[in-house]
Amino acid sequence: MSRFWSGFVNELDPYVPGEQPKLANLTKLNTNENPYGPSPKVIEAIRMAASDRLRLYPDPTSAELRQAIADFYRIDAAWVFVGNGSDEVLGHVFNAFFRQEAPILFPDISYSFYPVYCQLYHISYDTVPLSHDFSINVDDYDRINGGIIFPNPNAPTGCLLALSEIERLLQKNTESVVVIDEAYIDFGGESAVSLVKDYPNLLIVQTMSKSRSLAGMRVGYAIGQVDLIEGLIRVKDSFNSYPVDSLASAAGVAAMNDKAYFNETCQAVIDERNKVVAGLEELGFDVLPSAANFVFASHKQVDAVEIAAGLRKEGIIVRHFTKPRINQFLRISIGTAGENQQLLSVLDTLV
Ligand code: PMP
């Protein structure tokens, strides 16, 4: 590209998602999808919406979906913002609340989309090293900042920060927006939604991609007091005044309403995670404590790249990151009981 505008385009390092190969004969444990699929009630709701609603534009306020989310958390629907997956919601958050003048803070090992949004929206940032045990120490976020964001549980480590620590962070940091990205909170953590009423600068971002198994549908949301939600709506309206399409809305409503299926499948993922952790430890892996639907593990002797390549040869895909401190780790999504068993059996031949 040699045009005058190519400089900007070339400077941007876009986010690179985990690969999505065709599923036939592959055990896909690389992008933290839910192995159980959405509730049958979700499939039925999509079917009905497909026959009834496609001719019409979707509701620009997504009232039904926002209400279903609000009912689940027992909050007011005016505290809920929805979008096409939490990546889009996060994009609006960065655009609405973070600036160039004051650096925002996030952990040095964290969701790799954050620096991409910073580049895209010209936001300055400082990364804060994780502690020696890969945990987030809220005392490291004391300095004056233009905002704070981190996933809880963190990605790709899976480590959970206790709710009391998040509250301690909020008590220290009252001047800028604190965003907790709870993509994986339903697999063993306690949501900070309960703190929103006391902290007007707290925004929670969640997704239906993981615990509600709707990654292909793209539904994410944010929960915060009205001022923050209104800030997001102003940014959103400048992009696309329809937050989510009719099928996504119907699916999201049904997913929020089927609490029994949600509880059952989250618990199944947790039970399977416990088995995977025990199996990995038996094979000589060190596994970080995980509250997510994946584990982050490194082998005491065998190189991570070698293990990932060996797994791939046998049709199992896991995620490897090249960043120095974590380049001996593999991030392994929790699959079905059969997939997890297959993983452990193949690893047994590799380590
Ligand atoms: N936050 C974190 C920490 C994630 O790992 C992901 C999934 N890649 C997301 C947000 C985005 O998820 P989605 O856009 O599917 O809602």
Q: C-alpha angle 81/125/144, rounded to 5°?
A: 90
Question: What are the angstrom distances between the C-alpha of 290 and each of 90, 124, 146, 250, 325?
Answer: 23, 30, 29, 32, 18
Q: Say how many Å lie between the CA of residue 348 and the centre of ligand 1.
A: 31
Q: Say how many Å lie between the CA of residue 4 and the centre of ligand 1.
A: 34
Token code pair at residue 234: 């102003």
Supply the pTM of this predicted model: 0.95
Which pLDDT value is given to residue 19?
A: 78
Tell me the helix, strand and coil percentages in the chain, rounded to 5: 45, 15, 45
In the chain, the amino acid numbered 94 is F
Which pLDDT value is given to residue 322?
A: 95
Q: CB 338: neighbour CB atoms within 10 A?
A: 10
Query: Residue 156, preceding bond cis, omega within 30 degrees?
Result: yes
| Cα–Cα nearest to 255, from 83, 38, 96 | 38
Q: Say how many Å lie between the CA of residue 286 and the centre of ligand 1.
A: 25
Which pLDDT value is given to residue 71?
A: 98
φ/ψ of 105, rounded to 5, equals -115, 135
Mutate to test the pocket of ligand 1, among 89, 109, 111 (most ligand atoms within 8 A of CB): 111
Token code pair at residue 259: 């609490």
Nearest C-alpha to atom 2 of ligand 1 is from which residue?
183
Query: Which atom of ligand 1 has the smallest separation from the CA of 210?
Result: 15
Query: Which atom of ligand 1 has the smallest separation from the CA of 18?
Result: 8
Q: Say how many Å lie between the CA of residue 92 and the centre of ligand 1.
A: 14
Query: Residue 38, preceding bond cis, omega within 30 degrees?
Result: no
Q: Say how many Å lie between the CA of residue 292 and the centre of ligand 1.
A: 12
Which pLDDT value is given to residue 16?
A: 79
Which pLDDT value is given to residue 2?
A: 56
Are 89 and 81 in contact by the 8 Å Cβ rule? The answer is yes
Can you tell me whether residue 205 is helix, strand or coil?
strand
Q: Would residue 37 be called left, alpha or beta, if left means φ above 0 and alpha means ψ between -120 and 50 degrees?
A: left
Query: Which atom of ligand 1 has the smallest separation from the CA of 110?
Result: 3
Which pLDDT value is given to residue 238?
A: 76
Q: Say how many Å lie between the CA of residue 282 and the centre of ligand 1.
A: 30
Each of the 351 residues of the chain gets a pLDDT tens digit; together they read 456 666 665 567 878 777 777 666 899 999 999 999 999 999 999 999 999 999 999 999 999 999 999 999 999 999 999 999 999 999 999 999 999 999 999 999 999 999 999 999 999 999 999 999 999 999 999 999 999 999 999 999 999 999 999 999 999 999 999 999 999 999 999 999 999 999 999 999 999 999 999 999 999 999 999 999 999 999 998 777 788 999 999 999 999 999 999 999 999 999 999 999 999 999 999 999 999 999 999 999 999 999 999 999 999 999 999 999 999 999 999 999 999 999 999 999 999
Can you tell me whether residue 243 is helix, strand or coil?
coil
For ligand 1, residues with CB inside 6 Å are 85-87, 111, 151, 155, 181, 183, 207, 209, 215, 220
Which pLDDT value is given to residue 21?
A: 75
Which pLDDT value is given to residue 10?
A: 59
Query: Which atom of ligand 1 has the smallest separation from the CA of 90?
Result: 10
Mutate to test the pocket of ligand 1, among 203, 207, 290 (most ligand atoms within 8 A of CB): 207
Q: Say how many Å lie between the CA of residue 87 and the centre of ligand 1.
A: 6
Query: Which atom of ligand 1 has the smallest separation from the CA of 111?
Result: 3
Is 0.95 exceeded by the ipTM? yes
Q: Say how many Å lie between the CA of residue 32 and the centre of ligand 1.
A: 9
Nearest C-alpha to atom 6 of ligand 1 is from which residue?
183
- Beta-strand runs (E) in 37-124: 80-83, 104-107
Q: Say how many Å lie between the CA of residue 198 and the centre of ligand 1.
A: 26
Nearest C-alpha to atom 12 of ligand 1 is from which residue?
86
Nearest C-alpha to atom 1 of ligand 1 is from which residue?
183
Are 210 and 183 in contact by the 8 Å Cβ rule? The answer is yes
